[in-house]
Amino acid sequence: MATETIKVIAGIDTHADTHHVAVINAHGKPLADREFLAVGSGYRKIVEFITSYGTVAAVGVEGTGSYGAAIAKTLRGEGLTVLEVNRPNRAARRLKGKSDPLDAYQAAQSVLDGRTTSIPKAKDGPVECLRILRAGRTSAVKARTAAINQIKGLLVSAPDKLRAKYRGLGTSALINALQRTRPSGHTADP
């Protein structure tokens, strides 16, 4: 009698500290589920857990852009097919309630049903470098704008003598002029 290799599909419900993993067979029958720590040793245990049930056809992971990014990278590194699961089935959640095992099984089931087909971003290479630089720039621009608005707000209520000194200046000239100023007079005088 020939031994048939069992094909399995896994689903992972990701969180900040733990990930809940569920494994189903190719017919949708639940095989097992378990919770793991969201750390390197936990990721290795997840791989061992999933592969112990048979040949892994695919793994559906929730939140591959945030909490699931590290596990998705680990799974891809092991040569497994990782698919991004967008959100749990809301109708099933209303009927059965919210639980991590339910969400993990639904992630696996969505892969089996073909509802989950998107491959998550790798989050590496030049595109990721640019994303990080753009995020830093966006943050710096927002902080600069907030500081300029705060300065202009303070000048609106400043004494007339001080306001007159900076009245006709554009933003760049105003900031340059204010950079050269030093406190003078009594420390209790605004």
**pTM of the model as a whole:** 0.70
CATH number of the CATH domain containing 100: 3.30.420.140
Instruction: List pLDDT tens digits, range 89-148.
Output: 566 566 666 788 889 999 999 999 888 777 777 777 788 889 889 999 999 999 999 999
Report how many domains make up the chain: 2
CA distances, 34 to each of 40, 48, 80, 146 (Å):
16, 12, 19, 47
DSSP for 87-100 reads ---HHHHHHH---H
Written as one letter, the residue type at 96 is K
* 95 & 28 share domain: yes
* 105 & 163 share domain: no
Instruction: List pLDDT tens digits, range 149-179.
Output: 999 999 998 888 889 999 889 999 999 999 9
**Long-range contact set of residues 74-78: C-beta below 8 Å, sequence gap at least 24:** 74/43, 74/44, 74/46, 74/47, 75/46, 75/47, 76/122, 78/47
Ranges of H-type helices in the chain? 40-51, 69-77, 90-96, 100-113, 125-156, 160-166, 171-179
**Domain for residue 119, yes or no?**
no
Q: Which of 113, 140, 155 is the last residue of a domain?
A: 113
What integer is the mean pLDDT of 17-23? Answer: 96
* 83 & 104 share domain: yes
